[in-house]
A and B are shown apart, each in its own frame.
Chain A
Amino acid sequence: MKTVRLIYQKTGRAKYISHLDLNRLMQRVLKRTRLPVWYTEGFNPHAFVTFALPLSLGYESRYDCMDFRILNDDLRNDQMLQVLRRALPPDIQALEVIDPVLKAKEVAFAAFELELTCDTDTAAQLTAFLQSDHILVEKRNKKKEIITMDIRSKIRQMEIIPTEDGLQIRLLLPAGPVENINPALLLEAAENSGCVFDVRSVVREMLYDKNMNIFR
């Protein structure tokens, strides 16, 4: 038995699939492939899968990972990729099947690309807000208490690019089991500061480990 990692994109209408639904979907995808996948042996046998990092409902992803176990060690990764491609719905595209290099818990950063629509005044206001020294947001910690946090210091990289009808924001944020910052927090803070804009899309572009190696 070996563990393999599927790298896939989740775009278009697939962004409306929640994490829980994605889990169920992947169960069925694996079943359709008829690959010799390892099933748990409890009361409710199911394919054992692990996602590197759950994605919020409404976000697209250009690089996502799911691990599963395969009983036949001789199966080649490219063979599995072929059958997975056929079994996945159109808006979820398999990119690669690899032998995992890193453990799922080693995800440390995620890159996002946000497309906002707003007028030019708001764009300027928003840019100033995002570039200020402190951005305070309210967040629930693991004990469910509401804490105030300065999110500015958490943003590892930020690039703000004016577009025809608003802004494109590229962010590198902490992600994973240790610390996880959802870009929605930043947008919420911006809204609370009085900026009026539409979020056209949020795309998670890439996952990295703590040394900024691509998560593989």
Chain B
Amino acid sequence: MTELQLHKLLRGVQKPGRYTGGELNSVVKNKDAVDVRFAFCFPDTYEIGMSHLGMKILYALLNDMDGVWCERVFAPWVDMEQNLRREGMGVYALESLDDIAQFDIIGFTLQYELCYTNMLHMLDLSGIPLHSKDRHSLHNLVVVGGPCTCNAEPIADFVDVAFLGEGEEQMVQFVQLYKEYKANGADKQSFLKAAAQIRGVYVPSLYTVSYHPDGTVEAVTAESGAPLPIQKYIIQDLDTAFYPKDFVVPYIEVVHDRAVEEVFRGCIRGCRFCQAGMIYRPVREKSWETVSKQAKCLCDSTGYEEISLSSLSTSDYSQLEPLLNDMLEWTQQDQVNISLPSLRIDTFSPELLEKISRVRKSGLIFALVAGRQLLREVINKNLDEDVILQSCETAFRGGHCNVKLYFMLGLPTETLEDIEAIGQLGQKIVNRFYAMPDKPKGRGVQVSISLATFVPKPHTPFQWMAQDKLQTIRDKQRHLVESLTTRKISVSWHESQASVLEAVFARGDRRLSKVLCRAHELGCKFDGWHECFDMHKWEQAFADCGLSIEFYANRERSYEEVLPWDHLDYGITKGFLKRENERAKAAQTTKNCREQCAGCGANRLLRGGTCFENC
């Protein structure tokens, strides 16, 4: 594409900076001198995609490989889509401005279920056949990765390969193999068979699923010597694993516009609703020396004024104290702010607050998830109310008069009393503020309650549970708002219709590929955006395919049922998940991994087989 064509294309488009590329640290190679061109697609807007750490890691990793050029692609917003159609163009990559149809491998990272239609939308805009069976050559191989592949079944008909687990090593092996097969002029089928032998590479077309008359899965069988189950790939040692030395620095403001340094993978906590806490096991930490060194390198190469120490629960990092002390040595001098995005409220101390506010003060969000003690025990979110109140007081003393609390509605065993308890807890926090003799003068307190809808996810102890019906969720939301008596507490929530769809696709089977295809034909895209989401179209798509939303979202499964993702092995065993589900029903908590091993099974993935010394 020439500058002039780009200029014409972008006429009248909002935020043209989304579509132009050319940012600092973006990688431009000579396309005639590379063997494999990889289009790394994020099926959402530029601002969301450019905030995603996984993409930054794999982008740098692939571009470090000889003969490989990886470029970034994002979903065009509706105004840009119109312009692309007007100019007769497809979705293009930001580095070369070439259409993705020209690429060898087209990879999508699937971070949430509601982006599935965008994947189809992007392929379609570039005229690439949606179904794997309709793409006959090795060219335009469609691969997917990210958390959603832990149940890749709903998209199984579209993708050639799904990567299970972590990509840093597996991706290199895969692309290397592709390079060899491409050079030899091999056909797609023989390549897929060979690729299936790489750990964590799932080739859906090599597996057949049979169903019972009631629509549940009967069995999954493998062909051509493909492994069964397929085990996810993990990095053994994060200290020696690849990490980018620089990030592409966007021109326009993106959601997370900062440097990100990962401190550990996995989570010791075992909250029973949390998929990330299960599928990223076992816990593996980077040493604090590596974290500080890599973080400094990133800040120097990007010029970012903020670095986020990322993990599922950063205050659980065992080396946080030496890390922060070491980092403050250079961050203060360089005017760089440290942000800890996932703080647990029970590890929140005045000292920690002081350290993270040294350069600039940022907002505080605590995930409490449930309002009442009993329900927190059911979900294994082990937080005492006293601790919650104490930590809020710490925050107030540190000058943070706005605290944001995150809760989930529709959790298993939840009653209306649990809902009221959310408001009551908010009230207790407000009271705590006014009970402080030395409360900050001249400023009131504001407690913001943000409500999500519980979505039962695969590979969690709640994977068998039914989701609340839409009307029940709405009643609960209204009940909470009506139970509030002060304006010091505000409540907000996301569209819960979308959560229903999320529940369907999170635990869906292969038959849903038809529904996705139909929804795409009906024009569904950007389903995570309320301005684009249209539930009527989805209802029509389900009706047209003869499938029911309730079957997937609102049905409790028995332990005997073969679940559509049972053949995908994420380390944690089904026995462990069952045990945890039973403990939830009995409101029994489970200790965190550091205190006592719960025998989840993920340690089998590690060389040596132990995560913690007390295993």
Binding site for B on A (CB under 8 A): 12-14, 16-18, 21, 24-25, 27-32, 34, 39, 43-46, 57-58, 87, 89-91, 198, 200-201
B585 within 8 A of A: no
Beyond A13-B22, A16-B16, 11 additional pairs, beta carbon < 8 A: A13-B3, A14-B22, A16-B10, A17-B17, A25-B251, A31-B303, A31-B304, A31-B335, A32-B301, A87-B303, A91-B22
Are the C-beta atoms of A57 and B303 separated by less than 8 Å?
no
Are the C-beta atoms of B20 and A16 separated by less than 8 Å?
yes
Q: Give every chain B residue within 8 A of A45 (Cβ-Cβ).
A: 335, 359-360
A51 to B: closest C-beta gap in Å: 16
What residue of chain A has the Cβ atom nearest to residue B94's Cβ?
Answer: A13
Our pick among B3, B17, B305 for the contact of A18 (Cβ within 8 Å) is: B17
CA distance in complex: A28, B247 (Å) = 13
Q: Give every chain A residue within 8 A of B252 (Cβ-Cβ).
A: 17-18, 21
B93 to A: closest C-beta gap in Å: 14
Are the C-beta atoms of B249 and A28 separated by less than 8 Å?
yes
Are the C-beta atoms of B334 and A31 separated by less than 8 Å?
yes
What residue of chain A has the Cβ atom nearest to residue B359's Cβ?
Answer: A45
For chain B, residues 147 to 194, give those with C-beta under 8 angstroms from any C-beta of chain A.
none
What are 24 A-to-B residue pairs whose CB atoms are below 8 Å? Answer: A12-B3, A13-B3, A13-B20, A13-B21, A13-B22, A14-B22, A16-B20, A18-B17, A24-B253, A28-B249, A28-B305, A31-B303, A31-B304, A31-B305, A32-B300, A34-B300, A39-B335, A43-B361, A44-B360, A57-B16, A89-B22, A90-B22, A200-B7, A201-B7
CA distance in complex: A87, B246 (Å) = 13
Instruction: Across the A-B interface, give the 10 residue pairs with the lowest CB-CB distance, nearest first.
Output: A28-B303, A31-B303, A32-B303, A13-B22, A16-B16, A89-B24, A13-B20, A16-B20, A17-B251, A16-B17
CA distance in complex: A32, B8 (Å) = 34
What residue of chain B has the Cβ atom nearest to residue A22's Cβ?
Answer: B251
B497 within 8 A of A: no
B: number of interface residues (CB 8 Å):
29
CA distance in complex: A80, B279 (Å) = 49
B98 within 8 A of A: no
Are the C-beta atoms of B302 and A32 separated by less than 8 Å?
yes
Q: Give every chain B residue within 8 A of A32 (Cβ-Cβ).
A: 300-303
Q: In the complex where A16-B17, A25-B251 touch, is A46 in contact with B22 (Cβ < 8 A)?
A: no
Interface string of B1-45 (1 = CB under 8 A from A): 001101110100000110011111000000000000000000000
A152 to B: closest C-beta gap in Å: 27
Q: Give every chain B residue within 8 A of A30 (Cβ-Cβ).
A: 303
A111 to B: closest C-beta gap in Å: 21
What residue of chain B has the Cβ atom nearest to residue A27's Cβ?
Answer: B305
CA distance in complex: A204, B119 (Å) = 40
Interface-centre pick from B23, B301, B303, B305 (highest chain A CB count, 10 A): B303
What residue of chain B has the Cβ atom nearest to residue A90's Cβ?
Answer: B22
B275 to A: closest C-beta gap in Å: 34
Interface string of B316-351 (1 = CB under 8 A from A): 000000000000000000110000000000000000
Q: Give every chain A residue within 8 A of B6 (Cβ-Cβ).
A: 13
Interface-centre pick from A30, A31, A44, A91 (highest chain B CB count, 10 A): A31
Interface-centre pick from A25, A87, A200, A201 (highest chain B CB count, 10 A): A25
Q: In the complex where A21-B252, A24-B253, A58-B16 touch, is A12 in contact with B22 (Cβ < 8 A)?
A: yes
What residue of chain A has the Cβ atom nearest to residue B10's Cβ?
Answer: A16
A94 to B: closest C-beta gap in Å: 14
What residue of chain A has the Cβ atom nearest to residue B21's Cβ?
Answer: A13
B17 to A: closest C-beta gap in Å: 5
Q: Give every chain B residue within 8 A of A198 (Cβ-Cβ).
A: 8
A74 to B: closest C-beta gap in Å: 20
What residue of chain A has the Cβ atom nearest to residue B16's Cβ?
Answer: A16
